[in-house]
Amino acid sequence: MNYYCLVAGFPDLHINTTNNVPAMDALLEELCATLTTKDMALLNLLRMQYDNRNLLAYLANKEAALNPLGTLSQKDWEELITLMNELDAPKDKRSQPYILEYYRTISDEKLAANVTSKEDLLSTLYYDFGTHSQNKFVADWFEFNLNINNLLTALACRKHGFDIKQAIVGNNEVAKTIRTSNTHDFNLSGIFEPVEAIIAISENPNLLEREKAIDNLKWNWLEEHTFFNYFTIERVLAFYLRCELLHRWDNLTLENGQAIFRQLLEDLKKDVKL
Each residue's pLDDT tens digit, 33-67? 999 999 999 999 999 999 999 999 999 999 999 99
Domain layout of the chain by residue ranges: 4-271
| pLDDT given at position 263 | 55
| pLDDT given at position 255 | 47
| pLDDT given at position 256 | 54
Q: How far apart are CA 22 and CA 104, in angstroms?
A: 38
Q: Which residues contact 106 (CB under 8 A, 6 or more apart)?
A: 112, 115, 118, 121
| pLDDT given at position 64 | 96
| pLDDT given at position 252 | 65
| pLDDT given at position 257 | 47
Predicted model pTM? 0.91
Whole-angstrom CA distances from 258 to 210, 218, 265 are 12, 22, 11
Positions of the chain with pLDDT lower than 50, given as ranges: 254-255, 257, 260-261, 269, 272-274
Q: How far apart are CA 262 and CA 242, in angstroms?
A: 27
